[in-house]
Chains A and B, each alone.
Chain A
Amino acid sequence: MNFDFSADQKSLREQARKFLGEHASSARVRRILEGAAPYDAELWRGMGEMGWLGTAIPESYGGAGFGYLELCVLAEELGRSLAPTPFSSTIYLAGEALLLAGTDAQKKRWLPRITQGAAIGCFAMAEGPHVATPANLTARVESGHLTGTKMPVLDGDVADVAVVLAADGGAGRAGLFLVNLSGPGVTRTPVATVDPTRSHARIVFQRAPAEPLGGAGQGWALNERVLNRAAVLVAFEQLGGAQASLEMAREYALGRFAFGRQIGSFQAIKHKLADMYVAVELARSNAYYGAWALSTDAPELPVAAAAARVAACEAYYQAAKENIQIHGGMGFTWEFDCHLHYRRAKLTGLMLGSARRWKDLLVARLEAGAA
């Protein structure tokens, strides 16, 4: 049995934690929260210099060619630190879509720039406050040109390239398309969200040139494959955030006195913290399984990814929510960091579709496996 990260991967974790402790401190995160900059460009450059952007990208496209286990390790640390960078959009979504379905030319055009930090990617699926399905997509591509509105698009305001889900000619058919966002027919406006440490945009496409990504008619299935891979990686970010929230709550419960005692000595608080710990460990084990499936391209990946996402969404939200509660009134202030995780928990819980939808997917995949 070898179901854990290796010693090398654990030392990468330590190295990442140290780097992010210095370069993605709470003060740095708050600069993005409170300032006009959409992301921390200096941190992003630093991450590029550390080689993180090419972690799972093959060397032939300029990457470091490590692997997905290493990427999972980094994701957990990025989630723990709340690093305000376009890493998830660029690497887990746009990068994975290119790796899965891009032509050699498309990969050569974008992946080396991504690994160098010279291009930011984004993934445009949502079309407003409802679930996007192949049947209700209004963005559409006709003869190589995309028309429609995508909102919210994580990092859409700063990205150079977008992978866009759009209707593809025939009824109910969806496809993924690659759009150069500095090309014609693209209008972007920032959109405020619950988590201002990560920027979002509304993107209006008016006959913007769009290249198909992957074969015709495979769009929705390809979209699901991209989301599965991202679900595992985002689960590690959520896990890092959940662990950080649990640790914050524990620290506070040890240091805060009420009724003449540490509040962490009362069972109402102890049991709440124990429940948070249980949720985090269940999420951790499910995430590790997702990491194994992702790194070995196992047929279990669709089930493992859905389970990892469901467990991580719930653990992070629970830990972030109860962290505020354990901090009492202080947890409700802007000054304390509790709300940063609370915001990020909800953002990561929705950015690939809600846990409600992934639970349905999980059961559908179990049914398919048992049929």
Chain B
Amino acid sequence: MDFNDTREEAEFRQEARQWLGRHAEPKSGAFETWQSRYPGREGYDGLERARAFQARKAEAGFAALHWPAEWGGRALPPIYQVIYAQEETKFLVPRGYFEIGLGMCMPTLFAYGTESQKRRYAPSALRGDEVWCQLFSEPGAGSDLAGLRTRAQRDGDDWVINGQKIWTSGAHWADWAILVARSDPKAAKHKGLTFFFLSMKSPGIETRRIKQISGASHFNEVYFTDVRIPDGQRLGAVGAGWGVAITTLMNERLTSGDLRGPDFEEIFGLARSTVLEDGPAITNAAVRERLADLYVKTQGVRLTRFRTMTALSRGETPGPENSIGKLVNAPKAQEIASFAMDLLDMGGVVMDKDVAPLRAAFQESLLTSPGGRIAAGTDEILRNIIAERVLGLPQDVRVDRDLPFDELPTGTR
């Protein structure tokens, strides 16, 4: 048992580290991000710089390590992606622009697209010339994605799309999108869906930013009014869109970027530097007990990731243990934010960056962390996934599975 790379892994890590050292700036602080260094106008200015970096990364062969060589990859096992990501987090690199395209849209295109489509779209996505987004969630279809109602109606060689999507990261700068829509409302809900890709410049698309409780806007609503998609841009058979969407979601990873919030290290530091009514916070028994709990969780998730890496490094399929990561980390982030503010007592409410510790990172996290428990699988959905896929328990009662979609009860709240 050890934490060492194999010889090949160590060589690759060295190569990645050297390349990053030459082409990227080291982070100046744990919470610094590409967007915070290059705020620009809603991220657009950051995007231009990000494209330049992505092109160099693609040229050096780091942009899609696991892709086949013919599409610009190196066909490496997944452990190398993990190693590259570990090295990359030490540097200020663009996040949140290309992950969805490379991590979700392209794998779907590889599985269902034609050869000429792959040739047309994969290289430009890899270099960052074209940015992709994913049009899945709707106001009435979040955890229950198959309940989506955006309509796709056949009209000659085209499909006509009407409806609304929501929570679309990057829709405001994306060039292309993947879309799942309802082609047959008379069919049962999982059977009436069809999958497409389309240009985000198509007439009839309107994108509106969503303002989050933190005040930031990472997501969009996207409205479709008679948007036309050629049938050649359909992925998979008519009515088979659910299966295609599952392919996309199997490739989902956290695409919200490295918006790392305060973690154990920061709350531990705060407890050491804050004085309570009975002395330093770190000497208070209640504080110590919570710190210990947070440490055990933090270490537990980190070490669990090492177990997954071990399986990958040995060329084995990782066990299901990594499924616990987000379910532990997302509520923990919220707890750390709230706990830190409690330590600051009445002063904990202050969000003035010049006054609040860590430039108000805890207060920011109080307002951003609820999103972590919802995005990419809510806490509740993750518990269901663990229960069903890991522990082999039966699915929930499904009253809607075999009914025609248009006979299902509705209501979006």
Contacts and interface: CB of A to CB of B under 8 A. Distances in A.
Interface of A: 1-6, 69, 250, 253-254, 261-262, 264-265, 267, 269-271, 273-275, 277-278, 281-286, 288-289, 291-292, 295-296, 306-307, 310-311, 314, 356, 358-360, 362-363, 366-367, 370
Please list the 8 inter-chain residue pairs (A to B) with the smallest Cβ-Cβ separation, ordered nearest first: A282-B300, A359-B292, A270-B387, A285-B303, A265-B394, A274-B383, A274-B386, A3-B306
Given A265-B397, A282-B297, A288-B307, 7 more contacts: A264-B387, A267-B380, A267-B396, A277-B324, A284-B304, A285-B302, A314-B296
13 contacts: A1-B306, A1-B309, A4-B314, A265-B394, A267-B380, A274-B382, A277-B324, A282-B328, A284-B321, A288-B1, A288-B307, A310-B293, A363-B292
Interface in B320-376: 321, 324, 327-328
Given A4-B1, A277-B390, A362 B309 contact: no
B395 A3 contact: no
Contact of B5 (A1, A253, A370): A1
B4 A1 contact: yes
A286 B292 CA distance: 13
Contact of A2 (B1, B282, B393): B1
B48 interface: no
Given A286-B300, A310-B292, A265 B393 contact: yes
Nearest to A259: B397
Most buried by B among A262, A277, A286: A277
A250 B292 contact: no
Given A3-B309, A310-B292, A359-B292, A267 B300 contact: no
B310 A286 contact: no
B208 interface: no
A278 B321 CA distance: 8
A274 B391 contact: yes
B288 interface: yes
B289 interface: yes
Given A69-B1, A278-B386, A282-B297, A359 B289 contact: yes
A2 B327 contact: no
B296 A282 contact: yes
Contacts, number: 160
B401 interface: no
Contacts of A285: 299-304, 306-307, 321
Nearest to A275: B383
B387 to A, nearest CB: 4
Contacts of B288: 359-360, 363
Contacts of A69: 1
Contact of A356 (B289, B387, B394): B289
A150 to B, nearest CB: 28
B319 to A, nearest CB: 9
Given A2-B1, A359-B289, A273 B391 contact: yes
Given A1-B306, A3-B303, A271 B292 contact: no
Interface in B239-290: 268, 272, 282, 285, 288-289
B299 A292 contact: no
Contact of A265 (B79, B299, B306, B395): B395
Contact of A278 (B289, B307, B328): B328
A281 B300 contact: yes
B207 interface: no
Most buried by B among A2, A267, A291, A356: A2
A254 B311 contact: no
A283 B314 CA distance: 23
A264 B1 contact: no
A264 B394 contact: yes
B303 A360 contact: no
Given A273-B393, A295-B1, A288 B303 contact: yes
Contacts of B313: 1-2
Contacts of A360: 285, 288-289, 292
B289 A267 contact: no
B291 interface: yes
